[in-house]
A = this chain, B = another copy of it.
Amino acid sequence: MGATKTEHFTDKQNELAVLAKAIGHPARVAIIDYLLKVDACICGDIVNELPLAQPTVSQHLKELKNAGLITGEIEGNAICYCINQKTFSKLQQFFTRINTKIEKKNNCC
């Protein structure tokens, strides 16, 4: 008990859940916001932007990377983190599709 029963759900359901879960922490939203704000990929700097210790930020970056929301490449002794356009595009599609379905529904409430 306690572990999510991933195997009982469809790939698509799991895919959306993994992406949403990765976004489901304000520090990770803040990282995404920052990557968007600076209008470029970031080499270094991210730790100083967040009110969290360096290992904690590193961990959040790892989770965003694992989910495919950002990419990170070694660039000298820093790492260049970038938004992964494809994944965010996919997310938008998910929600656009959901909203289209909602609009077609019988408005019972």
Is A30 engaged at the interface, CB distance under 8 Å to the other chain? Answer: yes
Interface on chain A toward B: helix, strand, loop, or mixed SS? helix
Q: Are B39 and A26 in contact (CB under 8 A)?
A: no
Q: Determine whether A78 belongs to the interface, using a CB cutoff of 8 Å to chain B.
A: no
A residues whose Cβ falls under 8 Å from a Cβ of B: 4-6, 8-10, 13-14, 16-18, 20-30, 32-33, 36, 39-41, 51-52, 71, 73, 80, 82-83, 85, 88-89, 91-92, 95-96, 98-99, 101-106, 108-109
Q: Given the complex of chains A and B, what is the CA–CA distance between A101 and B101 in angstroms?
A: 26
Kindly provide the distance from the CB of A81 to the nearest chain B CB, expressed in whole angstroms: 9
Residues in chain B near residue A6, CB distance under 8 A: 26
